[in-house]
Structure formats: structure tokens, C-alpha cells
Structure 1
Amino acid sequence: MKTYKTIIIGAVAFTLMSYTVINDVISQLGLSQKFAQEHILKNLVGDFQNQPIDEDSYKDDGSVRFQLKSFKLPKMSNLTSIDKKTATQELCQYVKNYVNSQEFIDEYRKLRERAKPTSEPYRMSASEIQQMEQAIVEAEKAMKQAAAYMTAEQKAEAKKSMDLQKKEIQNMKDPTPNKTNWEKMYPENPETMVKNRLNEYLNLVSTVDFNAQLTTSGKYKKFAKPEYENKSLKWKAIYRAGKEANSVATAFAKEWLKGDIISDQKVSLNSSKNENSNSNSTQNSDENSSTGEKSTVDKLKEKKNNVLGKMKGKLGL
């Protein structure tokens, strides 16, 4: 029995130690748990606006300003003093633990409700859309007739303009675009969103050139290849993290995708503390109960001895 108790205590201690190690990577990076979890959730969703979704939420113009609506990295300290490989593994596990916690589900639901659209943009009538589509058909005919007199650059520009108009007409056919994009960004089951984000990362990391050279320009460093300067903030963040850290993250993401993204059984990140607290309370309760029982037994023995003493006295023993 003693050996069994020792095994159980050892297992619990190891579990608590694991939670401490994983959580410790957050403090090593100079972040609070709440701040880290907020950034994990909002980066997974792709929404840092904290307001109902409107047209500006999903009209991607490729600018840094637009990208910052969906992706932000917290300022982290001590990055040079920690082991990147170990820290990345612990950070990945922390993200997975959080995503599988009840806290994540609760915060996701709050964020989803907060982002729910309260209005929809102007939509063309069916007849107006039909007129626009006919105009596009006529424009394409005219472009074919004039193709012989157009340069390659002019043709490319005309095609780009035509494609944009077609896309705009297609968007007009959706009477509730804000609601459509809200449901896309915030699916009822967040597992879909997390899975999409993991696949997005794997696709993007495969395109990053970790051997890209940098040049100094004033106070800043720039990529030697100008085309890399136009890469997205996410691409550049992956590059800055380095090949070693991303090799760990890539392996972790692939393994995560093999099983349940979010387990049906949710846990609380504070469960280990609560269980420990409950265990202590139970132990204290048992000790108090045991003390109480001993006290009662002692009293009964004392009472019995007193009675026997009186009887012996009366009998002259």
C-alpha cells in the first residue's frame, strides 16, 4: 500500500512539475499568463480589433496597417539568454494546453460574441447586378478587339481591373457579407479555426528562406533581396525566429494535426492548483477527523477509568 501511495504521489509531483516548467517559459519571456493567452487567442482567430466585424475587417489591401489587425507579436524579453529549441518546444506545448483548456473556450466565445456584426454594407439590387455583369461582358469583347493595339502591360492592367470588378460583383451577391466573414473568422467550433491556422503556418514556413542575407540601412537592417522586403509580417516573424526554432514548431504542428486538435474533455489550466489545494484540504480534514476521533476515545477511556476507580473505592480495593 505504501509503495502504491509513493507511485501516486510521484506521478502527481511530476505532473505539477511539468505544468510549472511549461508555464515558466512564459515568465522567462517576460510575459504574464493573461497577456500571453490573449495574444495566442487573437492571433489564432486573426482579429485584434475588439469590435463588431465590418467591411474594413476583411478588405485586405496588403498594408502593414491591415496586417496588424490580425497579427501581433508581444514584446518579449530575455530572448538571447534562453535555449531557443527548448523554449520553442515548451511554448508550443503551452499553446496546445491553452487551446485545450476551458479558459480558451470561454474566452473564444466572449471574443466571438463581441465580434458579431451589428450592420451590413449597401448591396446592389438584382437588376443592378445584372446590368453590371452585362457591362463586364461588353468590356471583355471590346478588349479582345483592341488586343492587337495594346502592349503586354496594358493587357495585364486591363485584365486586373476586370478581375477586380468581377470579384466586386460576386461580393455584391451576398446580402450579409459581414455575417459571412464573421462565421468564417469565428466558426462555432474553434477547432476548425485552429486547424486552419496550423496548416497556414506549415504552408508559410515552407516558403521562408532562412539563409536570406541582411544589409544595414541606417539604424535598420533590410533584406539584401528587395522582394523579401515586401513579404508579410508573418513571413518576416518566422524568418527572425530562425530555422532551429521553426524546425521544432513545424514538427510539433504536424504531430498536433495527426490527432484531436481540441479534445472533447476540457481541462482548466488551474486544475493542478485546485487539485493540489483540494488534496491539502482533504488531508487536513482527515487529520482533523483523526484528531477528533482520538480525542473522543481518550475521553471515553478517561470516563471509564473514573467509573472503575469509584467502584474500586467503594469496594475497598
Structure 2
Amino acid sequence: MVFVAVLGGYIITSLLLFRFPRLVHKKKNLKFRAHHISHRGGAGENLENTMTAFRHAVKLGTDMLELDCHITRDGQVVVAHDNDLERVCGKTVKITETDYADLPMMKDTMCLDFERDFTLHAGDDRIIPLLEDVFEEFPDLPINVDIKIDNNELIAKVSDLVKKYKRQDITVWGNRSSTICTKVYKENPEIPLLFSMKKVITLLILFYTGLLPFIPFKESCLEIIMPCILLDTKKFQLNLNKKQGYLVKFLNMILMRPLLFKHLERRGIHTFVWVLNSEEEFDIAFKTQVMGVMTDFPTKLKDFLQEHPQYVKQS
């Protein structure tokens, strides 16, 4: 009887705090709300991580830019996804082993990571930009910074730039690596932090055991893939067998939970899903109560949100 009473009390308390988490947690007060997020500036409409891409996305009215950072041999923080520039520049050059002035131009055509049959033909802007140039040109725009490598100098210099441009409240940073997330939080805990992959797994375990309402988090933004897109052969050629396909569907079922996302939102934790490029994917994601969608096609997402204003009003 004692066990039943204790279990019943635990369940009731968990359900109560799940619905009203601010009884025990102070709500995070982020200074932005991002429904429309431009992945690498909108890599399906302009060359990824270029100033042209960022300007185009901002002109469309994007709520947030997502970009990636590396550091050059001479200590310049650059905006680029890959350290090895073979994919984007066609040259076997590593950013960390090259001075900024010697970085090659980007290729004039580019395939997308999340649309395997799509090829973008670049315009005139093929320069790898500095992060400082982005911060200087868009001082008031929220920016999601993916720290691509475990490099103490890179982390320190990104933090310094954030402080220099007084944008601690409108910058989000981190990486799927728990090591990098630990380091960036230690470097500057005032900048909102992304969940690492390890923390995402921990989050799910806490959710399904009922412990989630009791546990505080230093992270402010949950940024996740929507697993079902892995089944789309137009995006990926993964050649999944039947068991692997079922596993992806199972992961999608346990991760894309509206109850989870609403609980996090009540605690002030924002949820973003990547990288979605079709109206069908946008619709599926927003119906699960996520706050924002990250896309390679900012024009397409803008048009979708204009046609479906309820997904903006729901937050």
C-alpha cells in the first residue's frame, strides 16, 4: 500500500508540474521568437553561408539566420560549414590550416545536403565571410551559431564577438557535441545554449519516465531533426532496409511529441526542427507544436507561413 501511495503521489505531482512547470522552474526569458529560420542563410536560394544569402533571407523577413563557424590559421572566425573545403570550394584545403586571405573562392554550383537532386547555381558572391561581418551588418537579428569544431580559440573569439556587438540576448550557440556545449556554456553562460545530442537523449528519457518536470536545464533551445525526413529518397539515398525504416518511424514517433514541445515552451525553451524544404514537411512540423522550422528555401517557408498564420499565432 505504501508503494502504491508513493507511486500515485509521484504520478500526480509529475502530471501537475508537467502542466504547470513554473511552480518549480523560473521561465527562461529569451528576447526573440523564431518561426522562420534560414539554414545557412537559405542554401537552396543562394550560395550557403554567404553575405548574399544572409541579405536575401533578411529581406524576406526571416526571424533567424543559422550559420556555421570555423577558425583560420591566423585566428579569423569565418562562416563555413566544412573545415575541409573540398565540397564547397573544390580544393583540398582546410580552414584551420590556412590564413583567411588565402582561402579559395567557393564553387559556382553547389548540391544541397538535404535535397540530393538539387543543384544551386551561384551568383557573383562566392567569398567565405567573417562572422564579424555578419554581426556588424545584422546587429538586431537573432543568429544561431553552430560551433563546428572543438577549438578553444574559436569558442573564445565567438564569445568575444558576441560581447563586442552586444548580442548576448539574440545569439544562440552550441553543437551536437556535448563537449563543445559544455565549453561554450563555461565560456559565456549568458548566451542561450543549444541542446547537445547527449542532452536530447537525456531529455527523452526524462520525458518518458515522468521525471522531466522536476529537472532544470541550462539549455534554452532544442534543435532537432525530424526523423521521418530520413525516409524521403528525394532528400537522402540511405538505402534503409525494412528494420531500419521501422526504427526511423519509431524515433519519429517518440521524438515529435506535441506534449513535450508545449511543456518546454512553458519553461521558455524554444524548439526548432531542421532541415525542412517542402510545404508538407512544414505542415507536419508545425502541427507538433514546434516553434520554428529551419529551411534551405526561405521564400517557400515565408509563403507557407503567410498562408497558415495559425502556426505563428499558436506560440
Q: Same fold (TM over 0.5)?
A: no
Computing the radius of gyration from Cα coordinates, the structure with the larger value is 1
TM class by smaller structure: under 0.3
Q: Return the TM-score normalized by structure 2.
A: 0.27
